[in-house]
Amino acid sequence: MYTTELDKKAADSRVVEVGIDDPQQLARFEARVAADDFIEPNDWMPETYRKTLVRQMSQHAHSEIVGMLPEGNWLTRAPSLSRKAILLAKIQDEAGHGLYLYCAAETLGVSREQMIDALHDGSAKYSTIFNYPTLNWADIGAIGWLVDGAAIMNQVPLQRTSYGPYARAMVRICKEESFHQRQGFELMMHMVNGTPDQREMAQDALNRFWWPSLMMFGPPDDKSPNTERSMRWRIKRDTNDDLRQKFVDATVPQAELLGLTVPDPNLRWNEERGHYDFSPIDWEEFYAVVRGEGPVAQERMQARRKAWDDGAWVREAAASYETKHASARIAA
């Protein structure tokens, strides 16, 4: 997931900088995209398309990496050896997703180092969901079930996104995310069938993660001015509100199956619409979290920066060793 437009201001100012594209090339490009052709790294593309993609893909990559932190918080306390193995493997998958997406974004002429710098200096965003804390073991289940679940809603359509390397990355990532989603749901099921304490943990996790999960789909459509263009370019294939509704419709029956209560008194099936109605989202909170004021936003960034800074000497050593031995090989 994590591909919603969070830093619109930055994007818009960049759009202004962009020169006028050659109208003939632009027309050819638009026609290819409209025909569901894949655009490849060496193909001509409008500068705005490239920049929007770099932003969206790097934001997605950052989300995978930052998303390792809330789950990593429980890795050393996983309550059985098999749960520990499952969680370790899941977090490892997310690291792999991050790596895969950084590589795909690099095909657009930006380096991994540049993207990571942008994350660390706060100019790049990542999904708001990871700025919420994980407070009990059921949160690990709730994240798999809801967060990976929301990610899938958003990413399945992106398997047909117009940029080839991104679409291909999504195919592989989606497979693993659905596996995570099932594992998360299984963990929740185990918790609700457990002791009263475990049931309580599960309900508490749902209470805290429900609304932030709905916020993962980004601002409402009337506050997403670039949606129309992104959809025309097949960078986005559904609107935020459509995806959010789809997620609610799919998830509420699952909560019922778990015997848990979704924390929304206005949640009810609307026969006429064929959808669930739900309360309005607290957009004040959403925008505060986007601004970096989420409950543990500062801790998340501090942890990322610390890992990066602490590892600087290792990266330097590896580079120095490479250089030494590359020149030794040439000399030999």
Partner 1 sequence: MDKALFEYLLRLGDDSLVLAQRLCEWSSRAPTLEVDLSLSNLGLDLVGQAQLLLGYAGEVEGQGRDEDRLAYHRDAEEYRNCLLVEQPNGDFAQTMARHFLFSIYRELLLDELVGSSDTRLAEIAAKAVKETRYHAELASDWVIRLGDGTEESHRRMQDGLDWFWRFVDEMFAVDEVERVLIERGIAVDPAVTREAFDARVTQVVKSATLEVKPSTWPQTGGRQGNHTEHLSTMLAEMQVLPRRYPEATW
Binding site for Fe ion (CB under 5 A): 64, 94, 97, 148, 151, 177, 180
Alpha carbon of 1 to those of 100, 129, 135, 198, 218: distances in Å? 14, 10, 23, 29, 10
Calpha distance 246→255 (Å, rounded): 15
Q: Work out how close the CB of 144 gets to partner 1 at its nearest, in angstroms, rounded to a whole number.
A: 15
Site string for partner 1, 133-172 (x = CB under 8 A): ----x-----------------------------------
Q: Which is nearer to partner 1, 34 or 85 (CB)?
A: 85
Q: Work out how close the CB of 196 gets to Fe ion at its nearest, in angstroms, rounded to a whole number.
A: 30
Site string for partner 1, 168-207 (x = CB under 8 A): ----------------------x---xx-xx---------
Calpha distance 288→293 (Å, rounded): 5
Phi, psi of 36 (to 5 degrees): 60, 30
Total binding residues toward partner 1, as defined by CB under 8 A: 45
Stretch that binds partner 1, among 94-102, 124-132, 248-256, 274-282 (CB under 8 A): 94-102
Burial class (CB in 10 A: 0-12, 13-18, 19+), 187: buried
Does position 326 interact with partner 1 (CB under 8 A)? The reply is: no
Alpha carbon of 311 to those of 96, 121, 182, 283, 304: distances in Å? 19, 17, 34, 37, 11
Residue linked to tokens 């998340």: 300
Does position 129 interact with partner 1 (CB under 8 A)? The reply is: no
Q: Which is nearer to partner 1, 268 or 315 (CB)?
A: 315
Calpha distance 175→168 (Å, rounded): 12
Does position 82 interact with partner 1 (CB under 8 A)? The reply is: yes
* Residue 31 partner contact from Fe ion, partner 1, none using kind-dependent CB cut-offs of 5 to 8 Å: none
Stretch that binds partner 1, among 48-56, 85-93, 148-156, 223-231 (CB under 8 A): 85-93
Residue linked to tokens 């994980």: 134
Does position 42 interact with partner 1 (CB under 8 A)? The reply is: no
Q: Work out how close the CB of 259 gets to partner 1 at its nearest, in angstroms, rounded to a whole number.
A: 17
Q: Work out how close the CB of 158 gets to partner 1 at its nearest, in angstroms, rounded to a whole number.
A: 21
Q: Work out how close the CB of 240 gets to Fe ion at its nearest, in angstroms, rounded to a whole number.
A: 16
Burial class (CB in 10 A: 0-12, 13-18, 19+), 69: buried
Does position 258 interact with partner 1 (CB under 8 A)? The reply is: no
Provide CB contacts within 8 A for 56, sequence distance 6+.
3, 5, 235
Contacts of 261-267 with C-beta under 8 Å, sequence gap 24+, read 261/203, 261/206, 262/206, 262/210, 263/206, 263/207, 263/210, 263/211, 264/210
Provide CB contacts within 8 A for 272, sequence distance 6+.
none
Does position 75 interact with partner 1 (CB under 8 A)? The reply is: yes
* Residues within the interface to partner 1 (CB under 8 A): 65, 68-69, 72, 75-77, 79-85, 88-89, 91-92, 95-96, 98-99, 102, 137, 190, 194-195, 197-198, 303-304, 306-307, 310-318, 320-321, 324
